[in-house]
A = this chain, B = another copy of it.
Amino acid sequence: MRLATLRAGARDGALVVVERAAKRFAHAGAVAPSLQRALDEWTRCEPLLRDLEARLEGGEVEARPLPVGAEALGPPLPRAYEWIDGSAYLNHVVLVRKARGAEPPEELKSDPLVYQGGSGGLLGPRDPLPLPDPAFGLDFEGEIAVVLGDVPRGTTAAGAAGHLRLLLLANDVTYRGLVPAELKKGFGFFVSKPATAFAPFAVTPDELGHAYRDGRAFLRLSCTYNGAVAGDLETGPEMHFSFFDLIAHVSKTRALTAGTILGSGTVSNHDATRGVSCLAERRARETIAGGEPVTPYMRAGDVIRIEAFDGDGSSRRSVFGAIEQAVVAGSVTL
């Protein structure tokens, strides 16, 4: 099942169910006005939403065309109670630290890196990326995320599967130029992380079939930067910590509420020919190879497109729909 949120005046938008062919949708307001409300009452809502999906596929409910260009589609959760982002692809951590002459953290393979991000205002798939100052060093980051149900404190990885409700695709934007000063202060990324963007569809794990297993999504992540392929990456095999591992880590000392979004961190593959899902990693590879980065960060007018695919050939499908965002200089208000 794939769900989406129409921008519709209300802060949380309007929940819709998307048909398999992703050309039409049905309003789900009779089940729950918003995705957050559906997550709040998942036990009641999930079967009703699945029933609505079946009736949509069967032509038994009114189907409306999905808005062209997707400007009318918001992020699945326009505001979320938490956005916690991991760094589960260790290759990325190792490369970025190597480029600056630093060792990877001692507990790299046993203790997940996570940070708490801002969650009150999230961007939709076509929202512009503001660049108030070129020195901010804007970068995209393609990653898989999950939406959780209520997670009790002390949940184990073995017990985590039942708390994972939906999968998302994110562009976890970073102002790289602001990172060093923020990290030096010791309290995290705060001002170096503007609002994160999400692809339009939130997808139940069963929708991925065998491409979802062991708390990982085995998809192809495509990042196209100004029309050129920046990365065509495998999301599954190199995700060192599964979402189950990450859930256990982030619930170690507190419970999490339904609707919490948990990210994988930038997807990264050891094989350099796969490319990258963020410019920082390309710059790290350039620095390791030639002493300094060559690729600049994003500039006004640049366009980043991020999509994830399952299947092959004729069964290949854009699972979450596309993120496609243009960089806008100055103080665009979002």
Contact = CB atoms under 8 A, between A and B. Distances in A.
Given A116-B188, A132-B154, A186-B183, A79 B253 contact: no
A105 interface: yes
A193 interface: yes
Tallying the copies of this chain within the complex gives 2
Contacts of A115: 116, 187-188, 190
Interface stretch (A214-222, A231-239, A256-264, A302-310): A256-264
Contacts of A277: none
Interface residues of A, number: 55
Given A114-B190, A183-B186, A190-B114, A120 B253 contact: no
- Specify the main secondary structure of chain A where it touches its partner: loop
A54 interface: no
A34 to B, nearest CB: 12
A130 interface: yes
A136 B253 CA distance: 10
Contact of A255 (B121, B188, B253): B121
Contacts of A333: 152-153, 255
A153 B334 contact: yes
Interface in A117-131: 117-121, 130
Given A120-B81, A154-B132, A259-B120, A114 B187 contact: yes
A40 interface: yes
Interface string A99-120: 0000001010001011111111
A300 interface: no
Contacts of A121: 254-257
A254 B114 contact: no
A175 interface: yes
A185 interface: yes
Contacts of A191: 249-250, 252-253
Contacts of A256: 118, 120-121
Q: Name the residue among A80, A175, A186 with the largest chain B CB count within 10 angstroms.
A: A186
A178 B107 CA distance: 14
A329 to B, nearest CB: 14
Contacts of A178: 253
A195 interface: yes
A246 B256 CA distance: 26
Given A115-B190, A194-B254, 13 more contacts: A79-B257, A81-B81, A82-B118, A84-B118, A105-B185, A113-B186, A115-B187, A115-B188, A116-B116, A120-B256, A120-B260, A121-B254, A121-B257
5 contacts: A105-B185, A116-B117, A118-B254, A118-B256, A153-B334
